[in-house]
Amino acid sequence: MLSKDNKILIVGLGLIGGSYAEGLTKAGYTVGAITRSASTLEYALKKGIVASGATAVEENYLSGFDIIISGLYPTTLLEWVEQYQKWFKSGALLTDVTGVKGAIVSKIQDMLRGDVEFVGAHPMAGREVSGVQNADSRIFLGANYIVTPTERNSEDAIQKCEELGRILGFGNISRLSPERHDEIIGFLSQLTHCIAVSLMNCKEPGEMAGYTGDSFRDLTRIAKINDNMWPELFMLNKKELLEQMDLFRTEFLRLRTAIEEDDIATVRLMMQTSTERRKQFDK
């Protein structure tokens, strides 16, 4: 289990990395950070979010940490591990926060030194803003935290990774295989973002904004989207995402055809199904 003596490093102080740092510091852990931006580090130190930090990766600093949490985008994470794992402390635990797993977990485990371990994790939390200035560990309260271990992970490392989620206040901590994670996330998260983005691309808002109810606002909230991160997530889960998109297109076309053909029975049946199923998602 984690002890307060475990020194924790956050690599990349964006919204999520910064919120991890803030929450773990508040919980009494000694947290350090590596970020390329001097102003980000200065801000985090000034606010007491981290106890120490560096703007470049150096052996002396990196080798002092027992837990390394990557707040990097997935492809950047792969490059970072390849380049710097040589300086990891022996016995260190590496984990991450990225929203795709199939494309990175096995690659990292394949390349990783035998005396350190990587356990993938996906904190399902976010906001429509980014950067350490918006960091706030309260975004994790009650949210889902999915750990994606493989048969190459030790139970001890998996439990440490789960403990991080508990310390940060996540409400539901669970384990999924990287493949099942990507299928579920492809449907629940990536597909919904695709829907919101497509809907907002349909037409200029113009006067419509004045006639908008909560339904439209709720449905399109995620259309304000980080256009650096999400294309990367989509590409790394392309096969699964395209399948989910096609599934949705089929159902949407089924409803459209029923409406066009005055097939009220099918329209009602689809509404009854959606009503029944949606109830299962009530908290």
Span 251-270, contacts to a copy of itself by CB under 8 A: 251-256, 259-260, 262, 264, 267-268, 270
Nearer Cβ to a copy of itself (107/238): 238
CB of 253 to a copy of itself, least distance (A): 7
Quote the tokens at residue 106. Answer: 């096995």
Residue 171: how many CA atoms within 13 Å on its side-chain side? 10
| Residue 234 binding a copy of itself, by CB under 8 A | yes
| Residue 1 binding a copy of itself, by CB under 8 A | no
CA 10 – CA 33 distance, rounded (Å): 5
Nearer Cβ to a copy of itself (83/274): 274
Given the rule CB under 8 A, which of 14-22, 39-47, 89-97, 183-191 is the region that contacts a copy of itself?
Answer: 183-191
Query: Given candidates 49, 95, 203, 236, which one binds a copy of itself under the rule CB under 8 A?
Result: 203
| Residue 46 binding a copy of itself, by CB under 8 A | no
Give the per-residue contact string, 95-124, with a copy of itself (x = CB under 8 A; - = no): -----------------------------x
Nearer Cβ to a copy of itself (104/191): 191
CB of 210 to a copy of itself, least distance (A): 6
| Residue 146 binding a copy of itself, by CB under 8 A | yes
CB of 78 to a copy of itself, least distance (A): 18
| Residue 155 binding a copy of itself, by CB under 8 A | no
